[in-house]
Structure 1
Amino acid sequence: MKFENDWIRIVIERKQLTREQKENRRWITKDRFLKTGISFALIAALLAGVLYGSTCSMKGEEAVFVSESGDKEEPAGPGNAGDEESVVYIEQKRLAGEVKEKYENHTIYGHTYGEPIEDLGRGDNLVFELGYDATAIEGVEYWYEIYGIYQDPELTEPVIAGDYLWDPEKKTLTMTPSHYGVNKVAFGGLSTEQVKRYEHSDNLFFDRGSGADWGNLGTLYLAQYYDEQTGQKLEKPIVRIITLKGELEETPHLTYSVLEDGRAQFSWTPVEGAEDYLVCRVKYREERGLDSMMFALAMTKETTWTTEQPEYDVTELVNQEFKTYRVSEDDWNNEGDFEYYKDQYEPGQVVYEDTSYGEEGICVIAICKEGTSMASNYFLNRELAPKLPHCIAFDTERANGFAESYERVKELPVYDYVTMCDGITNQRLIDYQTEDANVSMERFLLLDEEGNFTGAEDLLCLHIPYRVEGTPFYYTMRVDDYQEENLERDLEFLEEREADLRKKSGELSLKMAHKEVGRETEIEEEEKQVRKVEDTPVFASSALSEYLALSMLGGATSIDLSDFPEARDLSLAEDALLEAYYQNPLILGLKEYRFNRRGTVLHLAYDETASVQARKQEEIREEVSRVIKRIIRSNMTEEEKELAINEYLCDTVTYDEDALANAEQNDFMYVDQQYHDSFTAYGALMNGRCVCAGYAAAFKLLAQEAGLETIVVTGFLDGSLSHAWNKVLIGNEWQIVDATNNDNDRISNALFNLPAFAGDRVLVEDRDYMQDKAIRNYTGSSEEYEYYHMTDSYFPVQEIAQRLTEGLKEKGEITLRTDYALDDDDFYNVTDTVFEALGEDAELYGCYWIGVIYLSLE
């Protein structure tokens, strides 16, 4: 088929391959110290997106012409919102037009998008028919200054074409496949038997030779810098998204989770026709992108892969392949390491591995006898490392008085120290295996002050095996000279303390919609209109994001994307979808979604019908308006408004433990219907019960109504606990506020306007809540509006003991903040000083977290 007009024609030349070419994160209890602790129950209902496309192959002639004036699909629309006569509908086509007009062609990367090029074959050439002599453009030295191909939508990672061939008679410029390609599959990590299953050369699967294969990256970006007819330079390039097709047309979509023992588990959507899947190590460099080769680590027929389980008696290291640091925080607690590194690096700071030659990551690709799919999305080690444990921080243990034996059970530590794969030290709860505790006699050697042997003594000792939670690290704690009659009572104490301190976590995963979400590829006729949502502020970073938000607010179950050529980049489309969902909390209960392969249709499924969604949206709007009128005054400052909203949620909302338990029962894939609201703003505002996703959604709606700029943030608490919180624009900087964690009777508001450098100690953001390019705009370093600074309750660690003592004498309990980096050693020194000031008859209780100290005399 040909599309001919006065403008450019892009010709895709189909090459016929030969058969050969077709075959790759304490509670310390001592009688004279601290006897209580604090736990924070946290959970987030996070989306896990699935990009999984339907088959759409290009058929017909050897040459297919694609032009800007090409035919487009008919507009499509969402599902029925009910039969109420007051409901107003709008055609999706018209809605798309209105949004695009509002943005004046603004896209997240500022590009003007041309028509996409679909199903480019591995060996296909691109031919550009021009209306000028391409060799006569003044100032142009290289062909890629006219037409360039890139791996990334920001156009910073070029793919160098094999050749540019100019035909002066036809005025055609032909671009041939790169001599290197991207992500070709090397098999060095596989067995001989595995390699022999598929066509291979000495080091590659399906080696097609130089200049004959674009590689296995499924999306490329063609940038046109000059007007195709006149040769005049464009103010900004026209970008066309190129989708490539492998021998297996579907592309796996990769996700990951952290197992109970701290190992990374990768999962992906199945690919029709795949005989095996290759888990591959990719290498990425800034401004160069992915390398030409990726290396197979494993071959499997399953759709999950987990790093090797360490041997039981070899528990020093785990997740070694995801380590990104050279010098960890823990290393600075070692005297020898400190002396060695102090003149080379800033003491106390993590030193990362040199990535000038590339940083590593993980992806997966499907393989069959005929060839492969395109490579999946990938995760770089820098994203994985903050969530994965690497080793016990032994030097930090020693610095904080951690021991292998204690005099009494009540002295046993609550937390251990773990170095994560990014070199940061986290505290992790110790899980005592009380069911395996035993009492036995042991002989101890007696030595004098000079170390000379003077005799031996037999003592009963209590041995309690334990595991550091979220890791594979198992050890045994010992209590010497133990009284066996106390065993039942002591073990009960440990179990109750541990249950009190354990953080609740979990993630409701969006179901993997391997096929269309109960629908065909295209949009049903009755879904071509969407309920119009008016007088509702919409947050969006791009026209596509706003269009998706408005459609989902109207309960759309199928959305036509044909007017947004950028949606052909399914990664960008998923980014826009997740932003739209998280930043517009009146979108309730999105359960699953799926794009068709061409990126022209998005199908959605919700927990409830469109009419129920509409009713609940109206109830939420009315409640938000009522609450803000009650708690906000016109003379309030921004930070006073923010604090009022935070305190309202802390006073009126209860964390829903039952919803958490139900999610656990269902492996965090879903919750029963009675708990749906607990993951939305409706649960927080209407029911007064929710998990952290509900807190964050409600906070955003209330802050928005009060005139504050705020966003929802998703990610992890203490490295691996799924969580949601907010950021608020205060004093021209984005501050962290976490109403879920702030809702605590003792350590209150520990995460109220926390600067980013302090928040990074406990919160790890993911990339789901905002389009990738926009995330960098939401940060701040000011402490001016941090709660304890703002209320004159912050004191340096050198002064904090005196202030705590004064507060205890006056009120009997006190909460103050000191340095964010406060550790156990600092805490012991502070509480020793307080205890001495109070007198030895005093009993002291309390705990600390990221510099906030709570102490009580009761």
Structure 2
Amino acid sequence: MRKYNSKFLVTILILCIVLIGCTGQSQKSGMTIEDLRKKYSDSIGYDLSEKIYTVNQTESINIKVNNNVIFEEYFESAHTPTPFIVYTDDKLESPLFVPFFESGEGGTIDIDPKEIIGESFLFQNKEYALSGSGTWGMYETLYLARYNDLKTGKKLDRPVVYIIDVKHGKEKLEAPVVTKRVTDDGNLRLDWKPVKGATGYWVIKQEKRLADSANGEFNLASRYHYSFIGTGTETNFISDKQSREFLNQKNYSADDLLDPQKASDVFVVEQINKAPVDYDIFVIAQNDRDKLSPPSNMIHASEFTGAMPYRIAFNTFMKDTDNRGFVLRDLKDIPTTVPVIMMDGSIRNFAIQYDLENDKFFFSENRNQNIYDLPIAIKNTPFTDTIKVYGASEDYEGIVEAKSKEVEGLSKTGVSTLVVDAEYKAKLKLDKSSVVNTVATVDYDYVAYSPLEEYIVTNMLAGNFNLDMAAFPEVKNKVVLSEAFRNVLENNPIIATIPGYYYSDSEKLLQISVSKTEFKKQKDLAEKVDQIIKSVIKEGMSDEEKSKAINDYLTEHTEYDYDALTALKNHEAVEQNPASTGAQISQAENDFMKYDESFKAMGVLMKGKGVCAGYADAYRILTGYAGLEVLTVRGDVPGGRHAWNLVYLDGKWLVVDVTWNDSDHNPNKYLHISQEDPTYVGDHFISADSISARDNYVFKK
């Protein structure tokens, strides 16, 4: 809603996790899981068998093959002596080992954990094994891929994957499920729920060293290098000065090329052109008997280093300010942004926060001129400095106030993190008549990237909350189910609430806990969307006209919820303060949750109030209903993290930032502009996840 007074517009971003996949559509009633898997077969790349190999820590898997069978090479550039490879991930990107078998001998292939090359890390001069030592190691779920027919030896058109369920005994610790965010001061924060029986948690860096050897065979002698990042008994981790050095992906950037000495240094130039260090981080729980849990969900460096500031890009800053930097001769030259080198080596502009309570204006007798000292903080970084203006005029207050308003336009910031964690129970004891095992028919436009996600989202939208999971053996891995739920909730804003959910592996049942009140809100939201579409979309409109009509509806009918932002900022400040008590944190969280709907399309469409996540989700829902191809993307603006949309018009992805379009000073500045537009390039920095979503989008039409 536009008003004729200055605004300090801010934005809230609900993380968008993006994977290559399909944009879901309504399905035929009673679609089977088998049909659903066929739908996603091309994007997944393999067939998942219902057969599960259950083993203890030292037990091998014995598989019979025909005598004298010779296996064809499956990989064009890599020969494996056996038709099997064991992977640690369901994307088959991280092989653990290749079971040895002499082709032509026949008999039995032993998939034996004794063949696993040991991997470990050091902590306080003690070595902890992650894999090897004659066991399956820390892993709870592994993936056995078969590439050949065991009778004929011929390679399969598609590999068949079997789940290996590794039992860890009575002392088993559950894998933590970790959420991430970059804090307001530019540090990485990880959060997870307590693991029963755990006495501490370790944050581990896993640097990838996996490569093919010269003869084309898999070289697993050194898959990863592990580094210890942090530890503690608390269920969170915040990077500090020491751990930030471990998280940095590049020590040099394009900023160094502006330094004449470094620009002529061959080593520096080589490092600048070198790809960033490829690594993941994960969390493991441990108890006082050194028992380790399986690893948490892996978090790749690209998911956070692009949002973590490393240092001020002083060479770039000096060039941009004609070598003035922070020492000026004119108040009008006071900068509003400063270039900062990020931990992935990129350079981004960050907004400046002026400290007007501690600025000083005085006359220097030695220099015989006025001097103005203006302390500054670079927003969303740990960096501070002081701007010094020589010969400043006495009307400095008006000039600095105008600069402050200029910064406000760049400072639409804020982050809200979605926490999703499955609770596993021995028994759910559900009424069997309420349990469904097919894909539901829905009228909603929805997004899913796997058979599991589509099964969950369609049934949630249809009001089916007790699901038979027998056809989804992959959910034995708690991390897999939690990630699927996270994707469903983040990519389908029509779902009005974040439910609790419970899974029983013995019964193969999933219970999604949604109250009748919350489900009614979802139905009411859908009806509201239908009303809006009928009122703003006219027959004969082009896609561009539909997009503009929806953008204009939202800017005219929505008011930014500043109280929600205040509650969020207070919650984060209390949570990050080491001196905060449990009661203070709980109170701040309760105060924040009062504004939960402002972070969703619900607040924008039903109450006319919201923050940027609500704006972006509302636009996405409405345009989806109108038949447009749309993405919600995340990234950064000079003032912090932000969410906006991309809409596909006339064969191109164009930018729509409804939150920033809702402005009295420059309305619709970000409506249907090119991603190469200097205005957009200069103040919007799209995340790696969102780039992947854009480049791998599967169109509905």
- Tell me which residue corresponds to 2:565: 660
CA distance change for structure 1 residues 620 and 301 in 2, over 3 Å: closer, same or farther? closer
1:270 and 2:190 matched: no
Say if 1:149 and 1:222, in contact at 8 Å, map to a contact too: yes
Alignment gaps of 5+ in structure 2: 19-27, 213-219, 573-587
Say if 1:439 and 1:463, in contact at 8 Å, map to a contact too: yes
- Tell me which residue corresponds to 1:146: 83
User: Cα deviation per residue 1:422-463 (whole Å; 9 max; x = unaligned)?
Assistant: 23222222223333334566564xxxxxxxxxxxx4556443
CA distance change for structure 1 residues 670 and 266 in 2, over 3 Å: closer, same or farther? same
Secondary structure at the residue paired with 1:435?
Answer: coil
Q: In 1, Cα distance between the equivalents of 2:595 and 2:352?
A: 31
- Tell me which residue corresponds to 1:301: 233
Say if 1:251 and 1:375, in contact at 8 Å, map to a contact too: yes
1:627 and 2:532 matched: yes
Deviation at 1:162, TM superposition (A): 5.7
1:650 and 2:555 matched: yes
Q: In 1, Cα distance between the equivalents of 2:508 and 2:296?
A: 20
Say if 2:181 and 2:190, in contact at 8 Å, map to a contact too: yes
Moved more, 691-700 or 457-466: 457-466
Amino acid at match of 2:144: L
Amino acid at match of 2:380: G
1:524 and 2:445 matched: no
1:241 and 2:163 matched: yes
Amino acid at match of 2:249: T
Q: In 2, Cα distance between the equivalents of 1:586 and 1:643?
A: 21
Say if 2:422 and 2:501, in contact at 8 Å, map to a contact too: no
- Tell me which residue corresponds to 2:245: 320
Residues 233-382 of structure 1 correspond to what in structure 2 (within 5 A)? 233-246=155-168, 248-285=172-209, 291-309=223-241, 319-325=244-250, 327-335=252-260, 337=262, 351-354=272-275, 359-368=278-287, 369-382=289-302
Deviation at 1:483, TM superposition (A): 7.9
- Tell me which residue corresponds to 1:848: none
User: Cα deviation per residue 1:29-82 (whole Å; 9 max; x = unaligned)?
Assistant: xxxxxxx99864211244899xxxxxxxxxxxxxxxxxxxxxxxxxxxxxxxxx
Residues 779-790 of structure 1 correspond to what in structure 2 (within 5 A)? none
Q: In 1, Cα distance between the equivalents of 2:589 and 2:273?
A: 36
- Tell me which residue corresponds to 1:101: 35
CA distance change for structure 1 residues 118 and 721 in 2, over 3 Å: closer, same or farther? farther
User: Cα deviation per residue 1:286-326 (whole Å; 9 max; x = unaligned)?
Assistant: 7679825422244433333333348xxxxxxx933333346
- Tell me which residue corresponds to 1:224: 146
Deviation at 1:596, TM superposition (A): 6.3
Say if 1:269 and 1:512, in contact at 8 Å, map to a contact too: no
Secondary structure at the residue paired with 2:305?
Answer: helix
Deviation at 1:389, TM superposition (A): 0.4
Q: In 2, Cα distance between the equivalents of 1:576 and 1:380?
A: 17
Q: How many pairs are equivalent?
A: 648
Q: In 2, Cα distance between the equivalents of 1:756 and 1:662?
A: 33
Amino acid at match of 1:42: T
Q: In 1, Cα distance between the equivalents of 2:507 and 2:347?
A: 42
1:778 and 2:692 matched: no
CA distance change for structure 1 residues 731 and 410 in 2, over 3 Å: closer, same or farther? closer
Q: In 2, Cα distance between the equivalents of 1:682 and 1:392?
A: 39
- Tell me which residue corresponds to 2:128: 205
Q: In 1, Cα distance between the equivalents of 2:674 and 2:475?
A: 35
- Tell me which residue corresponds to 2:112: 176
Deviation at 1:418, TM superposition (A): 1.4
Secondary structure at the residue paired with 1:374?
Answer: coil
- Tell me which residue corresponds to 2:22: none
Deviation at 1:645, TM superposition (A): 2.1
- Tell me which residue corresponds to 1:42: 11
- Tell me which residue corresponds to 2:62: 127
Secondary structure at the residue paired with 1:281?
Answer: strand
TM-score (norm 1): 0.65
- Tell me which residue corresponds to 1:472: 382
Secondary structure at the residue paired with 2:475?
Answer: helix
User: Cα deviation per residue 1:599-624 (whole Å; 9 max; x = unaligned)?
Assistant: 95555455xx334423x344333333
Q: In 2, Cα distance between the equivalents of 1:259 and 1:145?
A: 47
Say if 1:327 and 1:352, in contact at 8 Å, map to a contact too: no
Q: In 2, Cα distance between the equivalents of 1:539 and 1:332?
A: 43
- Tell me which residue corresponds to 1:740: 659
CA distance change for structure 1 residues 285 and 528 in 2, over 3 Å: closer, same or farther? farther
Amino acid at match of 1:464: L
Secondary structure at the residue paired with 2:44?
Answer: coil
CA distance change for structure 1 residues 659 and 370 in 2, over 3 Å: closer, same or farther? closer
* 1:429 paired residue among 330, 344, 351: 351
Say if 1:523 and 1:558, in contact at 8 Å, map to a contact too: no
CA distance change for structure 1 residues 463 and 672 in 2, over 3 Å: closer, same or farther? closer
Q: In 2, Cα distance between the equivalents of 1:150 and 1:652?
A: 51
Say if 1:513 and 1:594, in contact at 8 Å, map to a contact too: no
Deviation at 1:549, TM superposition (A): 0.7
Moved more, 416-425 or 493-502: 493-502
Residues 517-556 of structure 1 correspond to what in structure 2 (within 5 A)? 522=428, 524-525=430-431, 528-529=434-435, 534-555=442-463
Secondary structure at the residue paired with 1:279?
Answer: strand
1:681 and 2:618 matched: no
Secondary structure at the residue paired with 1:623?
Answer: helix
User: Cα deviation per residue 1:683-706 (whole Å; 9 max; x = unaligned)?
Assistant: 222322222222222222222222
* 2:635 paired residue among 702, 716, 719: 716
- Tell me which residue corresponds to 2:484: 576
TM-score (norm 2): 0.78
Secondary structure at the residue paired with 1:271?
Answer: coil
Say if 2:352 and 2:407, in contact at 8 Å, map to a contact too: no
User: Cα deviation per residue 1:509-548 (whole Å; 9 max; x = unaligned)?
Assistant: 33565856xx775353389347966433433333322211
Say if 1:159 and 1:178, in contact at 8 Å, map to a contact too: no
Moved more, 744-753 or 520-529: 520-529
Q: In 2, Cα distance between the equivalents of 1:467 and 1:343?
A: 30
Task: Answer with 1 or 2: which has the greater Rg.
Answer: 1
Amino acid at match of 2:623: A
Say if 1:570 and 1:599, in contact at 8 Å, map to a contact too: no
- Tell me which residue corresponds to 2:580: none
CA distance change for structure 1 residues 595 and 321 in 2, over 3 Å: closer, same or farther? farther
Q: Percent identity over the alignment?
A: 25
Moved more, 103-112 or 236-245: 103-112
* 2:308 paired residue among 381, 388, 392: 388
Q: In 2, Cα distance between the equivalents of 1:286 and 1:734?
A: 35
Deviation at 1:327, TM superposition (A): 4.7
Q: In 1, Cα distance between the equivalents of 2:47 and 2:422?
A: 32
Deviation at 1:391, TM superposition (A): 0.8
User: Cα deviation per residue 1:98-148 (whole Å; 9 max; x = unaligned)?
Assistant: 354355463440422113536644432111134x32x32364697654222
Amino acid at match of 1:388: M
1:412 and 2:334 matched: yes
Say if 1:386 and 1:719, in contact at 8 Å, map to a contact too: no
- RMSD across aligned C-alpha pairs, in angstroms? 4.3
- Tell me which residue corresponds to 1:610: 516
Q: In 2, Cα distance between the equivalents of 1:162 and 1:103?
A: 28
Secondary structure at the residue paired with 1:115?
Answer: strand
CA distance change for structure 1 residues 240 and 658 in 2, over 3 Å: closer, same or farther? same
Q: In 2, Cα distance between the equivalents of 1:598 and 1:322?
A: 40
Deviation at 1:331, TM superposition (A): 3.2
Q: In 1, Cα distance between the equivalents of 2:590 and 2:468?
A: 27
- Tell me which residue corresponds to 2:217: none
Q: In 2, Cα distance between the equivalents of 1:593 and 1:412?
A: 53
